[in-house]
Amino acid sequence: MDILARIPQLLVYGIVSGSILSLGGIGVSLTYSILGFSNFAHGDTMALGAYFALAFLSLLAGAGIPGQPFGSLSFGLDFVLSLVLAMIATSAVVVLLDRLLFRRLRLRKANRITLMISTIGIALVLRNVIQFFWGPQPHYYSAKIQLAIPIRQLGIRVKPDQVFIVSIAVILVTLLHCFLRYTKMGKAMRAASDNSTLAQVTGINTERVILWTWVIGASLAAAAGALTGIENKFITPDLGWQMLLSIFSAVILGGLGNPYGAIVGGMIVGISEEVSTAFISTGYKPAVAFVILIVMLLIRPTGLLGRRN
Amino acid sequence: MELFIGIINYLVFFGITAGTYAVLSLGLNLQWGYTGLFNIGVAGFYAIGAYTAALISGPPPDVWDGRLVGGFELPFLIGLLAAAAVSGFAAFLIGLPTLRLRADYLAIATIGIAETIRLILKNESWLTNGVWGLQQIPSPLYEPIYYGAKGFVDTHPELYPWVQQLILKAYNWFYLLLVVVVLVALYYFLKRLTRAPWGRVLKAIREDEDVAAMSGKNVFAYKLQALVLGAMIMGIGGALYAHYARFISPNTFKPLYATFIVWVMLILGGTGNNKGAILGAFVIWGTWAGTDFLTNYLPFTASQVAALRIIMIGIVLEAIILLRPQGLLPEIRRSRRLSRGEKKTGEAESPPP
């Protein structure tokens, strides 16, 4: 097949995976700008969300909530409910981890790198807690096979589930935008990310801001994880770890610390990874993010939307 | 007696593995402990070292092999040096774009290099034989030692059976000695380096980059040297592993075994203290290997027990960070030693200019 003819289809895949990377990246970016460290457990937080969604799906099925699929989607109300519940449960776990670990380190004024090392430990623990309860084998949200619908004018095939993934991402990003723009807490978060000392002096409750940062990051991560499960058709304990490099590349590309940058970066990395498969071996798809990262670090380390300092 | 021999033989094997990890831990200590370079891609440099050694010293491609090149059957020492050189070169390339930036960027770039190296090992079958890995990597002096020991036992039937069993494992004893020699050599090399002005500049950079730069030190050059030298040591660790295991594949270099466990070793042992780096490697590998037996006793599947053991390592890491961040053997701060020295001898060292 002609290489160029494949590109529109690869763009579709790229937009879908870019939406997921954006959702994952927002959390990394917020944690970085407000708490001041890179959270290497974020990928595994996504995986935790994906498995929580799986658990709630079976709980809901047990409780008799109908699993009748919506229209031509491969899932129904049960999945949407599970997604919301998974976002809540993942946030609860992350807030608990903050209380047990990160808050203590924060109060002790531990340096950034100590915090980063501790996130690596958390990453290992989360991934293996998942493996303990669910095993290393893949799990499926639904056994249904969904046929892609051809759109001949554009020369592409799109699955209804993919439309759903992108829509959910757009809805969540819009909600986040409104939250950051129009609510008091959102404004406080932006202030804290600009200058945390100044924010504290003006009477902003930093601990509450941090709590919200974790909740938003974890909720979006859980959504990203569950949506990855829909797109890939299966989930494994290392799904988040595998995406971590792409997410960090996306966040740095967009400008570390800027949630809008994470969205731009996520889209660019997602699309580049998919389109690259037209030119190079699929085996090297994960390395594309790495190349983007290195090029960006060489040219403009502050990122596309980052401030120069 | 049987049990006793079994334990001795196991301890020798344990010493070889833990000693190899201690080499990695020393390399990381130079980067992180002394210079504050946040390298979480230890696995990548370890893998480069192992594959380089295997390709330099290993046999040429076999008929069933996917490889086209490599396998020069050169001596062990040449392979060891090449492993250090190639690993150091990779660190040089990764250091150039990242060492001028904040620690976060180096961390992410090193994760990236480790993953990219794994992808290359998996995909470039012409060089690495892909997921099947490299086999029949020769162990140095294996034939003379093994057959020598066997011949000795055969000609001395009067020896007790347990003595014979110990002698038959002569090769493991030899390899343990080899690992210990490398480890001791590296230890003294690093001790000299870190006590020299060069090492003190590294510590200054770790404590405050701007101050180091203001006193006229080329911070970037020092960081690059520390990164490259640390990676070379990790490459040597890889070569030691490859020649003992005699088989390597991309899965040997997954981040868990090859990166995180080394970090936990260093942090437990004592960041910035080379003795601590070695101690941590033995303690953590002891804990890890020592919990292997649990697989048969806990009411879980093997995969669940493996997960529990990793969770344990993770919790150990968090516990050290919270309860004893300085590790088992804390770094010896020079200022404290100086003041103690003054009290004892009454002679003050030359005051700082």
pLDDT value at residue A81: 93
Chain A: closest CA distance from residue B238 (Å): 23
Three-state secondary structure of chain B: CHHHHHHHHHHHHHHHHHHHHHHHHHHHHHHHHHCCCCCCCHHHHHHHHHHHHHHHHCCCCCCCCCCCCCCCCCCHHHHHHHHHHHHHHHHHHHHHHHCCCCHHHHHHHHHHHHHHHHHHHHHCHHHHCHHHCECCCCCCCHHHHHHHHHHHHHHCCCCCHHHHHHHHCHHHHHHHHHHHHHHHHHHHHHHHHHHCHHHHHHHHHHHCHHHHHHCCCCHHHHHHHHHHHHHHHHHHHHHHHHHHHCCECHHHHCHHHHHHHHHHHHHHHCCCCHHHHHHHHHHHHHHHHHCHHHHHCCCCCHHHHHHHHHHHHHHHHHHHHHHCCCCCCCCCCHHHHHHHHHHHHCCCCCCCC
The strand pair at A149-151 and A156-158 is best described as: antiparallel
Q: Which of A88, A69, A92, A93 is nearest to A230 (CA)?
A: A69
pLDDT value at residue B334: 63
pLDDT value at residue B335: 57
Name the DSSP class of A76: B
pLDDT value at residue B256: 76
Q: Which of A188, A194, A299, A302 is nearest to A251 (CA)?
A: A302
pLDDT value at residue B225: 96
Q: Is the ipTM of this complex over 0.85?
A: yes
Chain A: closest CA distance from residue B173 (Å): 35
Residue scoring higher pLDDT (A5 or A162) = A162
Residue B346 reports pLDDT greater than 50: no
Residues of chain B neighbouring A287 (CB-CB closer than 8 A): 115-116, 119
What is the DSSP track for A140-199? Answer: -S-----PPEEETTTTEEE-HHHHHHHHHHHHHHHHHHHHHHHSHHHHHHHHHHH-HHHH
On whether any CB of chain A is under 8 Å from the CB of B321, the answer is: yes
Residue B312 reports pLDDT greater than 90: yes
Q: Which chain B residues in 36-75 lie under 8 Å from chain A, judged by CB atoms?
A: 36, 38, 40
**B318 with A101: Cβ contact below 8 A:** yes
On whether any CB of chain A is under 8 Å from the CB of B288, the answer is: no
For A42-98, write each residue's pLDDT tens digit.
999 999 999 999 999 999 988 877 777 777 787 888 899 999 999 999 999 999 999
Residue B171 reports pLDDT greater than 50: yes
> Of A96, A117, A134, A269, which to mutate for an interface test with B (greatest number of B Cβ within 10 Å)?
A117
Weakest mean pLDDT among A21-25, A210-214, B103-107: B103-107
Q: Which domains does chain A have, with CATH numbers?
A: 3-299 (1.10.3470)
Residues of chain B neighbouring A101 (CB-CB closer than 8 A): 318, 322
For A217-239, write each residue's pLDDT tens digit.
999 999 999 999 999 989 999 99
Nearest Cβ partner for B97 among A38, A284, A298: A298
pLDDT value at residue B172: 92
Chain A: closest CA distance from residue B36 (Å): 9
On whether any CB of chain A is under 8 Å from the CB of B136, the answer is: no
For chain A, the average pLDDT equals 91
d(CA B203, CA B212): 9
How many percent of chain B have pLDDT more than 90?
Answer: 55
Task: Name the residue ranges covered by the structural domains of chain B.
Answer: 2-254
Nearest Cβ partner for B267 among A112, A117, A245: A117
> Of A124, A126, A256, A293, which to mutate for an interface test with B (greatest number of B Cβ within 10 Å)?
A124
How many percent of chain B have pLDDT more than 70?
Answer: 94
For B127-146, write each residue's pLDDT tens digit.
888 888 888 888 988 888 98
On whether any CB of chain A is under 8 Å from the CB of B308, the answer is: yes
**B105 with A136: Cβ contact below 8 A:** no
pLDDT value at residue B352: 40
Residue A128 reports pLDDT greater than 80: yes
For chain B, the average pLDDT equals 88
Nearest Cβ partner for A118 among B122, B300, B321: B321
On whether any CB of chain A is under 8 Å from the CB of B34, the answer is: no
d(CA B309, CA A13): 38
Chain A: closest CA distance from residue B110 (Å): 10
For B228-282, write each residue's pLDDT tens digit.
999 999 999 999 999 999 999 998 898 877 899 999 999 999 999 999 999 999 9
**A128 with B112: Cβ contact below 8 A:** no
For A66-77, write each residue's pLDDT tens digit.
777 777 787 888
What's the pTM? 0.90
> Of B322, B323, B324, B326, which to mutate for an interface test with A (greatest number of A Cβ within 10 Å)?
B322
On whether any CB of chain A is under 8 Å from the CB of B254, the answer is: no
Q: How far is CA B90 from CA B87, B94, B181, B226, B230, in A?
A: 5, 6, 26, 13, 11
For A181-229, write each residue's pLDDT tens digit.
999 999 999 888 887 778 878 888 889 999 999 999 999 999 999 999 9
On whether any CB of chain A is under 8 Å from the CB of B105, the answer is: yes
pLDDT value at residue B209: 87
On whether any CB of chain A is under 8 Å from the CB of B301, the answer is: yes
Residue scoring higher pLDDT (A258 or B20) = B20
Name the DSSP class of A280: S
The helix-helix angle for B76-98 and B42-57 (nearest 10°) equals 150
Q: Is the dihedral of CA B306, B309, B314, B315 positive or negative?
A: positive
